[in-house]
Structures are given as C-alpha cells and as structure tokens.
Amino acid sequence: MKKNSATHKLTAGALMLAFGIILHQLFHLTGDVTFAAVSKKGERISRAKGVAPILETVKAEPDFLKGAVVADRVIGKAAAMLLYKYGVSEIYTFVASEYTVEYLSDKSIDFTYDNTVSFIVNRDGTDMCPMEKAVLGTNDADEGERLIREKIKAMKG
C-alpha cells in the first residue's frame, strides 16, 4: 500500500507537535530539566542553563536541531538566534524576552511562550543576561553566534 506523502508529512508534523507539548509539560513535572529537544535523530534533555544546552547539542551533533521541537524554560534573543540558525521548527518556553518575540516574529518557527519580560536577566538578577546583551545589535544569526561565542570566551577569562 502506497502512503500519500502529504498525509505522511501531516502525521509527522502532528507527531512533532505532540512531542513538543509533552516536552513543555515535562518542565511542570521536573524542577531541574531546563532544555529538551526532539528531532528525527532522537531526543536530548539537559539541566544546563543559558545557551549551553544548545551549543552542547550542536557540538555533539551539528544537524540534530534541524526540524526539531525544543522546549526551554527561558528563551532570550541569543538562544532564539541559535535555534533559528540550526533549523528548529518549534519552540516552547515559559519565559521569552520582548527581544526574542520581536526576533522570531518573522521567522518560520512555531513559537509558543507563556510570559514575556522586557529582557532576560543575568543569573545574579542584577543586569541583563550577557548573552542577550551581546546580540542586541544584530539580527543576523551567524553574527549572533559569533558574538555569543566571543562573549563566552571573554567570560571564561
């Protein structure tokens, strides 16, 4: 029996959406998971904070995020730029910055968030997240990744 390719794509899309909803719900059940992704290549769950889970995933398997559904507790513009660059199809988050919402508004990514904040704060709660601050002046994802990596390197000393 030959399957209709359009039906197959719809089923795959519905399956990815279901995974996305499950990932989003995962955060309600566990307090320590910060990032989860499902793609055709499998799934990844992380407890790392910031952009680290995204960069770790890309380092381990550069194509993993292509077409993936990602859930993350907090998405700032820096994370959004990386997820866009590496081809995710859907993002779910509890908190998104206004910069994130603006950046993703014209991208072909399904983006669902519960709350918005003016900007993502740093871990001390004293200033803007250094990664978000690093990418404010660009909307180019390649440039954004370069700035993020430079900032990480500078922060490590």
Taking only the tens place, the pLDDT of each residue in 14-46 is: 555 555 566 556 656 556 778 888 888 988 888
For residue 119, the tally of other CB atoms under 10 A from its CB is: 17
> Tell me, what's the pLDDT at 7?
36
Residue 155: pLDDT over 90: yes
* Higher-confidence position of 140 and 46: 140
Q: Decide: pTM greater than 0.85.
A: no
Which domains are seen in the chain, by residue range?
5-156 (3.40.140.30)
Mean pLDDT of the residues in the chain: 85
Q: Rg of the Cα trace of the chain?
A: 16
Residue 11: pLDDT over 60: no
